[in-house]
Amino acid sequence: MVSRTSENSALLVEKNTDILKVLKPCFLHHEIHLVYTNNITDIPVSISSKYSLLILDITLLNSINKEYFKKVREQNLFLPIIAIGPNNISDAINAFNIGISLYHSKPICCELLKAQIGQLTSFFNRKVIFEVGNMIIDLASKSFFVKNKKILLTYQEFHLLALLMSAKGHIVSRDYISKYFAGKHEEISYSAVDTLVSRIRSKLKSHIKEPLIQTVYKVGYRINAGYFKNLHIEKSQL
C-alpha cells in the first residue's frame, strides 16, 4: 500500500526494496519525500494531485500494467515520469513511446539522477499556458481569457475546459470526464457533465464566433479542431 504523502513527494514503484535504499539519498538532495509501493496499479489515477514526480521500474510494465499506466499518463499530461531500466536502447524507446519523460539506465548513478530530477521537476513546474487563437488558458493561475478579457469559470468548468484543451481536439467521453472529476473533486453524473458544457458555452457565446466545444453524439465532447490551427503551448521559465 502507498503510505501518506508530504507536500513535495515522489512515488517510487519498484519491487526491489534495495533500490529504495539506493534512491533515497538522490531525492533528499531536492527535499523530495520518497513514497514507495511495489505495484503499478497502486498509482493513483489522478497522481498529479498528490505527487510531483513518478519514478518506476520499467520491467514492471507487462501488458496489463501498461494499459493501466497509459490511463494514468492520459490524465496527468504534465507530470514528470522517470523510468529506471536496463541499459538497452529498445527499452528506452518503448518507454518514451508510452509517455515516459526520462529514462535512467541501470546501474543507478545517483549524481546523474540528482541532475535529471532537478532539470525535470524544474521544467514541469513552469507555468503552462495554452494559447488557442485569441484565447488563453493558464493552468497555474486557473485563468481563462478571450481577447484579453477574463472569463469567470467555476472550479469544475475550468478543469473540464483544461481537460478538453489537453486532448487537443480528440474526443473525450462523458464517462472519462465523470471519472476524471472523481480524482479532482467528486465524480459527477453524465447529466452534470452536459450541464457544465452548457454553462461554458453560455459564458463564451458573446465572445467567440464559432462554438469552442463540440458535441460528439452519444460519445462525448471535443474542442473545435479549427481553434487548434494556431495552438501554442508555453512553459515559462521559473
Per the structure block, which three cell numbers stand in for 113?
Answer: 539522477
pLDDT of residue 1: 37
Which CA distances in Å does 53 have to 5, 14, 172, 176, 225? 12, 14, 25, 23, 31
How far lies 224's CA from each of 18, 22, 137, 164, 190, in Å? Answer: 50, 48, 15, 10, 21
User: What CATH number is attached to the domain comprising 27?
Assistant: 3.40.50.2300
- Residues whose CB falls within 8 Å of the CB of residue 227, separated by 6 or more in sequence, listed in order: 132, 133, 135, 210, 212
**Which helix or strand (DSSP H or E) is residue 215 part of?**
strand 213-216
pTM above threshold 0.75: no
Is there a single domain that holds both residue 38 and residue 115? yes
- Does 167 lie in the same domain as 101? no
Range of the domain at 148: 128-235
The pLDDT assigned to 127 comes to 62
In a domain? residue 66: yes
Determine, yes or no, domain membership for 3.
Answer: no
CATH number of residue 231's parent domain = 1.10.10.10
Q: Which amino acid is at 22?
A: V
pLDDT of residue 183: 52
Q: CB neighbours of 191 closer than 8 A, spacing ≥ 6? A: none
What local confidence, expressed as pLDDT, does residue 134 receive? 85
In a domain, residue 62? The reply is yes
Question: Is the same domain home to 140 and 229?
Answer: yes
Report how far residue 187's alpha carbon sits from residue 165's, in angstroms, rounded to the nearest whole number: 20
Domain boundary pick from 124, 156, 176: 124
Each residue's pLDDT, cut to its tens digit, for the chain (238 residues) gives 343 333 478 899 998 888 888 888 888 767 788 888 989 999 988 787 788 889 999 999 888 888 899 888 877 766 889 999 999 999 999 898 888 989 999 999 999 998 888 877 765 555 667 888 788 888 767 789 998 899 998 878 888 898 888 887 889 998 888 877 765 545 678 888 999 999 999 999 999 988 999 999 889 999 998 887 777 777 654 4
Kindly state whether residues 79 and 165 are assigned to the same domain: no
